[in-house]
Amino acid sequence: MKIITTLLVSGLLLYSVCTTADTVTQDMFIEKMVTQHGFDKVYVTQLLKQAKVKKSILKIMARPPGKAKPWYQYKKNFLDQQRIKAGIKFGKKYAKTLKRAEVIYGVPAEIIVAIIGVETFYGKIVGKIRVIDALKTLAFHYPKRADFFRDELEHFLLLTREEKMNPLKPKGSYAGAMGIGQFMPSSFRTYAVDFDGDGKRNIWTNNIDVIGSVANYFKQHGWKTGQSVIMPAQITTPKASTRLLALDFKPQYTLQKLKRMGLQYQGNESDNTLAMFIDLETEVGISYWVGFQNYYVITRYNRSKHYAMAIFLLSLAVANR
């Protein structure tokens, strides 16, 4: 009985300490919004009181990472006929807007369509959690990445003030990614654009603004108009794969250097072209690829070689139809 009582007391003390720490951190956040950004203290305090802590989000974040799916399984989620057909329909409906974005930002229409298709199935799956609930939960109750999510909460309050939005209304993913393009608040403030000229940046229901915003995101991250994204390659020996895969996941190596390390590539790019080495697991073995700057730019949306390849192949499927 004494042991049980001790455990209960210890648990209550731990809860008290954590709750106090969360309260202190939240008070500091409120003070920052007041002193640095001129918010009314009562307004921010009441707003955070109305925001809810979502235990379901904390449960998701606490899950141990599962084993990553091999490429041949991963691609089935995004390269099905339903998504391709929906992408073709979306592309036809917004053809003029996509063409205008391509002219202004230099990003191919099919790449923009593929991003929207993979992220939210062209706006059908945008998330049902209030952004402020998600960000409050992670900013004050998820110590592992609390600093990051407090920054995003700060950006969220700023953007809702800038866009004259009710902070309690926008919805998104459990991590606070918003709208059809799934922008985090900091990305919204930096890259979202008013592409239809109505005075608002609406990435929740306005596909024209979404198209312009995605294109601007890619341009600002270094998209190179007219250049390759990724091309198939081979290796000279099995050991070459080990050497090449040990390199950083970034196109900072010349093709000449990669070839000296065992890459076999017969493309038209000069040996001075910067590239990166990628391997993907297929049903019959490993396939090898050379990724260029534009491939890397896709990974700025999601740092995953599988994600970037899915975007590329979906864009080809949509363009070829």
Q: What is the 3-state secondary structure (H, E, C) of 188-233?
A: HHHHCCCCCCCCCCCCCCCHHHHHHHHHHHHHHCCCCCCCCCEEEE
* 119 is an active site residue: yes
Q: Which residues contact 308 (CB under 8 A, 6 or more apart)?
A: 230, 291, 295, 298, 299, 302
Query: Which pLDDT score is estimated for 164?
Result: 96
Segment 125-138, tens digit of pLDDT: 999 999 999 999 99
* Per-residue pLDDT, 262: 97
pLDDT at res. 181: 96
Q: What is residue 21's predicted lDDT score, i.e. its pLDDT?
A: 52
Burial annotation 40-67 (CB, 10 A radius, 16+ → b, else e): eeeebbebbeebeebeebeeeeeeeeee
CATH H superfamily, domain 2-64+126-220:
Bacterial muramidase (1.10.8.350)
Catalytic residue, candidates 119, 162, 269, 283: 119
Q: Give CA–CA dist 212/198, Å, rounded.
A: 13
pLDDT value of residue 281:
96
Residues of the chain with pLDDT under 70: 1-21, 24
Residue-wise pLDDT for 259-318, tens only, equals 999 999 999 999 999 999 999 999 999 999 999 999 999 999 999 999 999 999 999 999
Whole-structure pTM value: 0.90
> Cα torsion at 120, 75, 252, 298 (round to 10°)?
-20
Task: Give the model's pLDDT for residue 22.
Answer: 72
Helix 109-120 and helix 207-220: axis angle, to 10°?
Answer: 110
